[in-house]
């Protein structure tokens, strides 16, 4: 079942609200699911087949509160700021991130540390798009209505689904604004709390907070804020700011998407 596998993948990748419409009070599961999937801005429904952007991380801001030795500050970061990143996001929402060094590192030690930074940026961008794409490119609740169990609660709805050892739960108010996405597997469990704003063609993801726990680590919190740009009539991310606490300090990483190109049907 595609939706369960997807939300499990979203939460594993991290190991790296007000109402905006009239209330929809209805106990018909199929009708609620259909209305949920109509309510949110959907890039695929607006003709998107693919988009690509330059990825420009603000490393000065990201590392200002991170403990780093003199070699890191004086040698690694100056070279890292010259690394070029690019992301391609396909019709399914899957993101492919690549990077290219503009100069050869002066030593194997510097090369290894540069790879760590580049890989970390790629993981952050990939993790962001795995969550964002499910709410902005795909339908929030994909699959057949028979895959879900629906609870009609006093303050909203809760949909749950199971596949093997994976459990997924999506909660929303009676205006069908999603406020919680949960997934649990034997290896990881986590919760995403999204926040939406009302756009011209549906609800748009403005930010989210996530908490995840793996079998081999303590819980980790992550928050992400998103701003948008219009490219060929489509709303695409312009800036994301990821914030999380690391052993080395607080990471606040702004990332800008520039020179975006769109392919449409």
Instruction: Kindly tell me if the per-residue pLDDT of 79 is higher than 70.
Output: yes
Question: Residue ranges of the domains in the chain?
Answer: 2-13+24-144+152-264
Q: What pLDDT score does 25 carry?
A: 39
Q: What pLDDT score does 22 carry?
A: 31
Residue that the structure tokens 């063609």 belong to: 201
- Of 65 and 205, the structure prediction assigns the larger pLDDT to 205
Q: Widest CA span of the chain, in angstroms?
A: 65
Please count the residues of the chain.
265
Task: Give the model confidence (pLDDT) of 32-52 as tens digits.
Answer: 888 888 999 999 999 999 999
Share of the chain above pLDDT 70, in %: 89
Nearest Cα neighbor of 241 from 222, 225, 227 is: 225
Sign of CA dihedral 78, 253, 203, 7: positive
Instruction: Tell me the mean pLDDT in the region 132-145.
Output: 85
Residues 229/29, Cβ–Cβ less than 8 Å:
no
Mean pLDDT of the chain, nearest integer: 86
3-state SS, residue 83: coil
3-state SS, residue 166: strand
Phi then psi for 263, rounded to 5 degrees?
-115, 130
What lies within 8 Å, CB to CB, of 37 at 6+ separation is: 139, 140, 141, 142
Instruction: Kindly tell me if the per-residue pLDDT of 113 is higher than 80.
Output: yes
Task: Give the model confidence (pLDDT) of 171-208 as tens digits.
Answer: 999 999 999 999 999 988 999 999 999 988 999 999 99
Instruction: Kindly tell me if the per-residue pLDDT of 258 is higher than 90.
Output: yes
Q: What is the pTM of this model?
A: 0.85
Residues 103/180, Cβ–Cβ less than 8 Å:
no
Give the confidence band of 60 by pLDDT, cuts at 50, 70, 90: very high
Give the confidence band of 145 by pLDDT, cuts at 50, 70, 90: low
Residues 172/30, Cβ–Cβ less than 8 Å:
no
DSSP string computed for 205-234? EEEEEEEEEETTS--EEEEEEEEEEEETTE
Task: Give the model confidence (pLDDT) of 241-257 as tens digits.
Answer: 999 988 888 889 999 99
């Amino acid at each position: 079942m595609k939706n369960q596998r997807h939300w499990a993948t979203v939460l594993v990748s991290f190991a790296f609200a007000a109402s905006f419409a009239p209330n929809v009070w209805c106990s018909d599961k199929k009708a609620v699911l259909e209305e949920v999937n109509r309510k949110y801005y959907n890039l695929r429904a607006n003709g998107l087949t693919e988009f690509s952007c330059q990825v420009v991380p603000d490393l000065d801001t990201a590392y200002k509160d991170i403990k780093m030795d003199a070699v890191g500050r004086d040698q690694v970061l100056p070279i890292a700021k010259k690394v070029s990143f690019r992301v391609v996001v396909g019709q399914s929402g899957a993101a492919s991130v690549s990077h290219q060094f503009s100069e050869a590192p002066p030593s194997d030690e510097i090369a290894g540390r540069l790879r760590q930074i580049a890989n970390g940026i790629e993981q952050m961008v990939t993790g962001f798009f795995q969550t964002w794409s499910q709410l902005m490119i795909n339908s929030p609740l994909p699959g057949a209505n028979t895959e879900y169990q629906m609870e009609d609660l006093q303050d909203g709805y809760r949909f749950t689904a199971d596949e093997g050892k994976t459990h997924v739960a999506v909660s929303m108010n009676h205006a069908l604004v999603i406020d919680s996405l949960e997934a649990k597997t034997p290896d990881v469990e986590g919760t995403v709390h999204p926040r939406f704003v009302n756009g011209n063609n549906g609800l748009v993801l403005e930010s989210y907070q996530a908490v995840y726990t793996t079998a081999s680590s303590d819980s980790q919190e992550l928050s992400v804020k998103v701003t948008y740009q219009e490219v060929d009539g489509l709303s695409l991310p312009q800036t994301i700011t990821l914030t999380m606490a690391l052993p080395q300090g607080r990471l606040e990483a702004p990332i800008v998407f520039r020179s975006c190109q769109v392919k449409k049907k």
